[in-house]
Structure 1
Amino acid sequence: MTPQQYLNQAKHLDALINVRLREIDYWKDMSTNISGIKYDAMPKNPNATTDAYFVRCLDKICEIQQDVEKKVGQLIVLRDEISSRIDLLTNPEEQLVLRYRYIDNCTWDEIASMLNASLRTVYRIHGAALQNFSVPS
């Protein structure tokens, strides 16, 4: 695994958590929808669930919330690990660039502004930081 792939793990996990949170919002909206009652004489499927629709939605919400809690725990551990690895760098500018990029999820322009440096300088520092960064085995 390259240093960049290792560092990007937290960003990807954070994005996955946000996707799951949007799924919870979707199921919350679905749980408030009211379905109409059918009065036709069609025979019912004996294998169909008898739970109300909102109950199934609430079950889905609980399932996703448990997954999110698990992923948040993983993210906390991963971010701590990444932060510790960044602290091992001797150059403070390299530490800052990696923290801004991979811990704070800043854009290149934001990093350049915070460091009061050009984009080219930020890219140079980032490249050097990746060269000096050691990925745990």
Structure 2
Amino acid sequence: MKELDVKQENERKKEYLDGYRKCVRQLDRLNEELSEIRINKMFPSLIQDGMPHAHTTTDLSGYAARIDKIERKIVKARYQKINKLKNIRDRIERMSDENEKDVLFYRYIKGMKWEEIAVKMMYTYRNVTKIHGRALKNFQI
């Protein structure tokens, strides 16, 4: 039963650490959506969904409202991303082992793959995953 508790705790820690990358992806999606709306307004004939579209470009109120709504979401998402980064970084910095800090930082803040972390730290893939296991054990939420 103890091993199951450790696994659940580690999954909870991974979920917490993944929070920053999720915020980054959400912000990227919102920025892409904003770009698409702007492009579709500037070049309405480029909308390639197969449906007929009116070619009226006189009413900008709906467009402005959509832009404003997404821009507000972007501001909120940026704020959440900054807060999440600060919280995770602070918790990582409280750890005593530098290798564990590095692995958690590269994996969860930089979003690097295990192989990239191994090359950067000049360790084997296996050693990096061992360090990650220890880091999760020592990480405090």
Counterparts of residues 16-31 of structure 1 (less than 5 Å): 16-31=26-41
For the pair shown, the structure with the greater C-alpha radius of gyration is 1
Q: What's 2:51 paired with? A: none
Asked whether 1:107 is paired with 2:113, we answer yes
**Greater share of helix:** 2
- What is the aligned-residue identity percentage? 25
User: What RMSD in Å do the two structures reach over aligned CA positions?
Assistant: 1.8
Give the whole-Å Cα distance in 2 for the aligned partners of 1:83 and 1:131: 17
Q: What's 2:102 paired with? A: 96
Give the whole-Å Cα distance in 2 for the aligned partners of 1:94 and 1:100: 10
Give the whole-Å Cα distance in 2 for the aligned partners of 1:107 and 1:122: 11
Structure 2, gaps ≥5 residues long:
1-8, 45-53
Structure 1, gaps ≥5 residues long:
38-50
- Aligned match of 1:4 in 14, 27, 34? 14
Give the whole-Å Cα distance in 2 for the aligned partners of 1:54 and 1:120: 57
Distance apart, 1:93 and its partner CA? 0.1
- Aligned match of 1:36 in 38, 55, 71? 55
TM-score (norm 2): 0.80
Q: What's 1:79 paired with? A: 85
Q: What SS class does the counterpart of residue 134 from structure 1 fall into?
A: coil
What amino acid sits opposite 1:31 in the alignment? K
- Residue deviations 1:12-31, cap 9 Å, x none? 11101101111001100111
Give the whole-Å Cα distance in 1 for the aligned partners of 2:65 and 2:131: 48
Asked whether 1:13 is paired with 2:36, we answer no
TM-score (norm 1): 0.82
Give the number of aligned pairs: 122
